[in-house]
Structure 1
Amino acid sequence: MTRAAGPAGPGGEEALRGLVAGLTAVRDGDLTVRLPETTAGLLGEIARVFNGTAEQLALVATEVTRVSREVAEGDLTRSITVDAPGEFGELRDDINAMVESLRRTTRDNREQDWLETNLARLTGFGEGGRDLAGAADQLLTELAPLVGAQYGVLYLAREGPDGTELAPVAGYGTAPGGSDRSFRLGESLVGQAARDHRTLLVRDLPPGYATIRTGTGSGDPAELILLPVLLEDRLLAVLELASFRPFSPLHRDLLDRLAAALGITVGSLLATARADELLQQARRLTGELRARQRELQDSNAELAEKAEQLAQRNRDIEGKNLEIEEGRQELEERALQLSRTLMYKSEFLANMSHELRTPLNSLLILAQLLAQNNEENLTPKQVEYAGVIHSAGSDLLQLINDILDLSKVEAGKLELAPASFPLVLMDLMMPELDGYAAIAEIRRSPRYRRLPIIALTAKAMPGDPAKSLAAGADDHVSKPVDTAELLTRIGRWLDRRAPTSEEGRSDDRDTRR
């Protein structure tokens, strides 16, 4: 609704006054004032121009007010669309440019806030964690929907036998077995991005190059991007993403910044994993060392116990050796005494046999003469008695000779001639002669291998008989000699001297006693 600036009058002065009132109202901000256009002539033309200008100003003011209010309320999509000539048009364009600038600034700030917020959230995915695979899976779960990707794989760089390999550690939207393959540097686009340390963006993928599957179907992605993750120019990982739609510049900017920031996070997780591995190894080695120390302590205790036992055994052995030495000295003294006793006995027997043989020889001669009875002055009974006396005397003389020979054997003064004697009595403790060596020397001759040898010794040690038999003796008799037993054994071996071969002598030895 408009109001008139003043009453219409036939006079020009009243019309001018109405014009002045209208201009004053416009100047004061009242754009609703209108002049009557009923006046003809110049005043009517002025009223029409004034009313058109007021309407134009009111329209522009209304648009400016509306746009300003909506912009103030946060709606930056509005602009002034009214046509306005001259300075009104410039005002419209200036206001629209200001709104557009504000719109761009607001959008840039919003995008920057979005970038920084999501970048901080995504780069903190591994904080406080130690499982790299779990952290990588969490990253792809958050990142893929954020940038509109339907497929994603994170490849971790590892040193293998053939150099650096890129092995998948986490996947998003991958088909079964689709993310199990590893790549070397330069192999496929994954290895190429890793070797060049450069992001690769592949647009307009051919059909069948890659497939994104869902529960209801599958399709080919429109774009594929591969971003290397570096830390101080050292390759740590490669991030691969694919989408049905091209990645927006904002998403590209986020991915570029994220790839640069992930190096610190992945490096920290790898260092943590390595530290955990070293810690586990250190704990294992510490456990093994403690076990070794316990084993060593047990071994030392056992060794100490065995050393004490060995020391005690050595002391016992020294005591036994001392006893043995004392026994040996005592045996040597007894052997020396026995040797002297035997020497005295042999001398006594030699002297006695000489004293006995002289009258006995005379008795034998007399008995032989009587038995011959050359003068035939004896009765047959007397001749028989003389024969009995001669025979008994001969036996007694032979016994005296045998006793004398035994005494000489014990004294080591009788030289035996094996060719003349059917048996050897070997004293193992003869002065300046080793009886064992003498037996061995006799046995070396094939001529005397079957000659019976009886060993005589003054020692009564448990191993002496076996030692004598091992040296080549056939029997063993310990001193002091029991004459009856010795004669019995001599007779037994003389009776056994029938074998004509070496095997017969061995059989005799095996069947003795």
Structure 2
Amino acid sequence: MNYKKQQILGFSIVLTVAILFMVIEFMIFRNSSSTGMVLTIVLLAVILIVIGITIALLTIRRTTDQLKQVTTVIQQIDFDSSEPLPRLDIKANDEIGNLATAFNKMSDTLQSHTQKANEFNTHIEESNWIQTHLAHIGNVYRNVNAIDELAERFMSELAPVVDAAYGIFYFCEEQQETNVLKKQASYAMYSDMNETLAEFKMGEGIVGQTALEKKTRIIQAPADYPIRIQTGATSIALQEIMIIPILFENRTVVVLELGTIHHFSQTHQQLIERIASTFGVVVNNIDNRMQVDRLLRESQTLTEELQAQQEELQVQQEELQATNEQLRERNHYAEIKTEELQITQKELQLYSEELSRSSQYKSEFLANMSHELRTPLNSILILSQLISEKEKSHEDDDTPHFGEVIHRSGQDLLTLIDDILDLSKVEAGMVEVQRDSVAVYDLPEVMGYSFDKIAEKKGIEFQSLIDENVPDVFYTDEKRLQQILKNLLSNAFKFTSKGSVTIHIALADTSIAAKGYSVPEQMDYMLAISVTDTGIGIKEDKQNLIFEAFQQEDGTTDRQYGGTGLGLSICREFSKLLGGYVTVQSELGKGSTFTLYLPSLMVNAEGQPVTKPLPPTWMDQEEQQDSLARLQGKNVLVVDDDLRNIFALEGVLKGKGMHVRSAQNGEEAIALLNAEPADIVLMDMMMPIMDGYEAMRWIRLEDKWKDLPIIALTAKAMKDDRELCIEAGASDYISKPMNVEQLLSVILVWLTDSKLSDNTIVQS
């Protein structure tokens, strides 16, 4: 009952008593005397006062007791303690009860806030603890250049911080294309722990499996776990073991094993995770630094070895120079004796001087050049071969390549000397030509082996160009062809100090051949190989002279550019041997262009040039005209993936009145034949989707097409191509570029009546 209700109740009681008193007084006043009435009134008044005082005392006492209880509870509160706040246990439903309820709610709120504040402070303390130890352990990485040193420092710092009783540091190494985890350091280990393994493979044991899965493991150690922590007086069993993989770019580089006699707290685990997230970068950097140091030491060792070899080479060169000096002295002595002999034979020499002067100069020059060049060349070849066979000291070491280029150039020079000595044989027609197939597209690469380094050294651009219509295979003497090109390129680089040197391979226009040159009848086609430079150029009045033996554009002794004057002479003679010729176009100060024109002459098994099909000899010109007239109205199917070839053939055949259809691969050809038959098929061999060989095999499978004339056309021109085409189903074979008369002759043979076809043999 609250105070307001208590006051109302007390007032009601007093009022009731007062009313009762008035009623009693009135009744007494009516029936009693004045003295008795006064006594009665006084008695009632006393009673009323006693009752009021009693009610007031009870109310005040009850209120005072409740306030004392509240005061006592409040005085018991210790705001410096973390103990829970006391609660008021008052059940009265009055103002004191409301005050107690409000106090209890305030206590709950304060206790909740205090709990959250304590949790926040704990979290801050844990974060500060983690950051402090991260910074402290980070100082361990400084000035460390070896993995084993890093492992020792790291374990000695980390293990005490996370309350680990022991620890092992495994580093991942590559061994024979496999990764192996090898122990680099340990913490609190002792010699009796024989169960500790020095290394693990990936996926081997818990350590290897953790490295493979890249996930941290926490293992509860059983009571009988054999590894125990040894103190001076006793041994303690482990409680938990943590295996932590350290990653770098999603690759395991380190695995840590930590054991504790307690449990790893959440804070310890967070610290380990934070360290593991960045420690991989440190390990990788130190590992890379160690590899760089190792490579640097190896490089220094190899450099010292190279310097020692260079010193040896220099000693050998000095010995070689001494030997050359002795040879010069002997040659000088021989020259003196020769002069004395020439004096005694002067009359005879004067008599034969006009007849043998040219031969004498050549013989003396060739003999001297042979002697002077072969002596130093022998040592160059030996030493360059040794250098080329040496293993590379590092990936970018070009020394073996340089030795290989020097050795190859020396071999070429030796071949050149031999060719120079045989120059007289060339003039006498005693040199044999060995014709064989030459890969045209390999020529620039072969030339690049000899001249790329020269171009790089002189700062000259060296480029090769090949026209798209140039066939892949060319028939000639490859050795002589390369000798001609090397001589032309050597001249180009020798007389060019800046700019470029370009070799260009194209099909030659045989209609504008050089004066006095007749195109061979047996050739398939002719190549024009041009060597263009931006060098000093040649005077117009010297352009014919330079092809003569021992002649140069500047033949004085103080000329800027050296040489024997035989290079272009050899080029001219070799080009003649191969059935071609060499031309020159030059402008003084702007450069020169030397062009080699060579025919492709394929040889048969007997070494004789293969002749092309000739027009049929079984009919005269009038009969031939009649046969050509028979071509009108004939249906021809041209199969070729080159639209230019189709366009050219259509022009020729439509001009003879024939109906021409075209296909760009074998599948289209078969579809066109099924739609409308043809009288003859001109089939290219090299095509996409379905080539000519497969198309002919499909056509011959049909009985209706077994006698269909198919002429195989190919620019590949290999030795066995004819047999391969006939075997695949071709009726005849023509190599590109084809002659129009040849093509029409073959078509005439196969479209003439069967009697003539059976009695006709066509060479192709």
- Which structure: greater helix fraction? 1
Is the radius of gyration larger for structure 1 or structure 2?
1
| TM-score relative to the length of structure 2 | 0.34
- Larger relative contact order (CA 8 Å, sep ≥ 6): 1
| TM-score relative to the length of structure 1 | 0.50
